[in-house]
Amino acid sequence: MNKIEKINETVRTLLAGGVVLIATDTVYGLAAMPFEDQAVEKIYALKKRPRELFLPIMVAAMQDLEVLGVDINPNARKLFEYGLVPGAVTFVLGFRGESLKPCWLKKREEIAARIPANDLLLAVLKETGPLLVTSANLHGQPVTQANVKDILAELNGVPDLIMDDGEGKEAPSTIINCRFDPPVIERKGIIPVDEINHILTTRT
C-alpha cells in the first residue's frame, strides 16, 4: 500500500471500531477511537492492562486539546511553542472545567497527551480526531520489541489492523507532568531531561 492507502485503511478500521497496531515516532502503539467501547476494551485485553488505569491520548495539534477542555497552562504552552511538538514528549495536563470535557473524559482529572512526529499517524489523527494510543507491549513490561513480528508474539491477542512500518524505537516518550510548578519529569525518554529543564528556565 502507498501512504494514502495506509491512511485510508487505518481511518476506516478505527472508525469501524477496530484496534490498529501502528508506528509512532517512538515505540509502536495500539490505537482506538475513544468512544468505541469494544475497541478500548480490546486494547486493555491485548496489553493485560488493569482497567482502572486510563489510556493516553494522541492528537494532531494543540488546538485539539483545547477543544477537549484541557488546561494548557503557561509551562505546558512554553514547551509546546518551543518546538518539542510534534515530538516524543507526553504531557500530563488537567482540565479547565468539568462541563468542557467530552463524555469519554468525564471520569478523568488529568490526561496524558501527545502530538507524535509521525507523518502517517498525524494524517490519521487529522481525519479521526483524538485517539487513545498506548505502547504495544504487555502492561508492566519494558518495551523491548521493535519489530512487528516480535510485538505480536508478546501481545495477548491480535489487533484488527497491523500497519508494519519497519523497525520502531525501543525508547518511549519523555513524560512531563505540567500540573506541577515547576513541571515534574515522570519518565525519562527520548527527549533529554536537560533540554526540557533548559526550556522551562529560559525567559520568554
DSSP assignment letter at 138: -
Count of CB atoms within 10 A of residue 69's CB?
A: 17
Q: What would the 3-class secondary structure string for 48-83 be?
A: CCCCCCCCCEECCCHHHHHHCCECCCHHHHHHHHHH
d(CA 80, CA 88): 12
What tens-digit pLDDT sequence spans the chain (204 residues)?
899 999 999 999 999 999 999 999 999 999 999 999 999 999 999 999 999 999 999 999 999 999 999 999 998 998 888 888 999 999 999 999 999 999 999 989 999 999 999 999 999 999 999 999 999 999 988 787 678 999 999 999 999 999 998 887 778 899 999 999 989 999 988 888 888 888 888 765
Q: What angle do CA 180, 183, 188 make, to 5 degrees?
A: 130
b or e along 84-99 (b: 16 or more beta carbons within 10 Å of the residue's beta carbon)? bbbbbbbbbbbbeeee
The CATH class for the domain spanning 3-201 reads: alpha beta
Output DSSP code: residue 28. -
Per-domain boundaries in the chain: 3-201
